[in-house]
Structure 1
């Protein structure tokens, strides 16, 4: 892999390095900004509200931008992975899934989630009506989540075949945890315990993606 990189134009090498670095920091940036908003904005409660509803209100542009920026960083990292394939994600399937995850995030920002259960201030309690853009947000989220879960499981299978049991177990556990937490939240109708559990799963998913892209970058460039 090092020899292949060595014969590439310097500008391309720099671009690949930068895009992989962008993918590494996408998760921490997304989580930090979402957490800061959730703690600071009046009426928001992590036990009752998904982070997506932060896209509403006067400061909603922050979360919209958070989705779009993180998504674009993931799309860029997916392009870079086609040039320096990760041993677990491979040269085609993994980058395609990461790109799908990024596109889903961008669309999650474009299609704004509906106000929910008292947030933002003045919104009636309860689920409320679902708009066309709310449906679009649900669809975009499903695309993103399914792609991330599939990427974890793909990496787990490929790494297990290579005998890398630790990374394989980590990848598989992340994918299964994310899927279970997502289904639990849907099945419970958004009860506080499952809302918090899914929040942890989102953080775990981002952590796995950052670790995976960091490994790919180190293996390619040292």
Structure 2
């Protein structure tokens, strides 16, 4: 059976400058987080993206840069979620997709103060703290919820676009969510270069939400 396209809401909310500004948050979030994180990964002494997650950059003398990056990117992601809510109201997935993106954004914000402990050679000279710190536990809990929310948001967006007859957007949404899910499980299983795979797939899913916001901006 072929899905019956669902009528989209009017473009009035998209023409609202406030809505357009909010949607731009999702586009900016991936740019800010990706550029700041990958720049640090390439320049900070002792950091190896095949061994350490991007969250480890919150350690050391320059850790404040990544902490700030988490918070700023999270605020932008939440703003984007509000924009998505405005333009997706009344459509399949129009309630839960923005909510899940908001959870992802809040997770980024909370990942700032909950610092994943160092060790294993980064930061250089840091032997690490035996056991798990409060910051590490908090970061892992918040990260787990945030990752699940971002993955779920991609699949909900896939349903949304499938119901509206936009097959390309539906496929992109589902592919991004699937890639991140596989990357997360691969990293958790301790696969070779798991941190690199996780970073690539997480940024892919995050970038897709930015693509969705950009598409809605151009309608």
TM-score normalised by L of structure 2? 0.89
Matched, 1:108 2:111: yes
Matched, 1:82 2:85: yes
- Cα shift at 1:86: 7.6
- Quick one: structure 1 residues 62 and 5, their matched pair in 2 at CA, closer, same or farther if it must change by over 3 Å? same
Following the alignment from structure 1 to structure 2, what is the Cα–Cα distance between the partners of residues 110 and 89? 35
Number of the residue aligned with 1:197: 197
Following the alignment from structure 2 to structure 1, what is the Cα–Cα distance between the partners of residues 199 and 43? 17
Number of the residue aligned with 2:61: 58
Stretch deviating more after TM superposition (60-69 or 80-89)? 80-89
- Cα shift at 1:116: 2.8
Unaligned runs of 5+ in 1: none
Following the alignment from structure 2 to structure 1, what is the Cα–Cα distance between the partners of residues 183 and 207? 16
Number of the residue aligned with 1:143: 145
Q: 1:176 aligned to 150, 175, 178, which one?
A: 178
- Cα shift at 1:193: 2.5
Following the alignment from structure 2 to structure 1, what is the Cα–Cα distance between the partners of residues 81 and 40? 28
Which stretches of structure 1, 4 residues or longer, exceed 6 Å deviation after superposition?
A: 86-89
Following the alignment from structure 1 to structure 2, what is the Cα–Cα distance between the partners of residues 56 and 167? 38
Deviation string 1:104-141 (CA, Å, 9 cap, x unpaired) is: 0001112111103111111238x953101111001111
- Cα shift at 1:192: 3.7
Following the alignment from structure 2 to structure 1, what is the Cα–Cα distance between the partners of residues 74 and 54? 15
**Contact 1:97–1:147 under 8 Å retained in 2:** yes
Number of the residue aligned with 1:129: 131
TM-score normalised by L of structure 1? 0.87
State the secondary structure of the residue aligned to 1:110: coil
Matched, 1:161 2:163: yes
**Contact 1:117–1:124 under 8 Å retained in 2:** yes
Provide the alpha-carbon RMSD of the alignment.
Answer: 2.1
- Quick one: structure 1 residues 89 and 45, their matched pair in 2 at CA, closer, same or farther if it must change by over 3 Å? farther
Number of the residue aligned with 1:4: 12
Unaligned runs of 5+ in 2: 1-8
- Quick one: structure 1 residues 3 and 135, their matched pair in 2 at CA, closer, same or farther if it must change by over 3 Å? closer
- Quick one: structure 1 residues 40 and 72, their matched pair in 2 at CA, closer, same or farther if it must change by over 3 Å? same
- Quick one: structure 1 residues 40 and 216, their matched pair in 2 at CA, closer, same or farther if it must change by over 3 Å? same
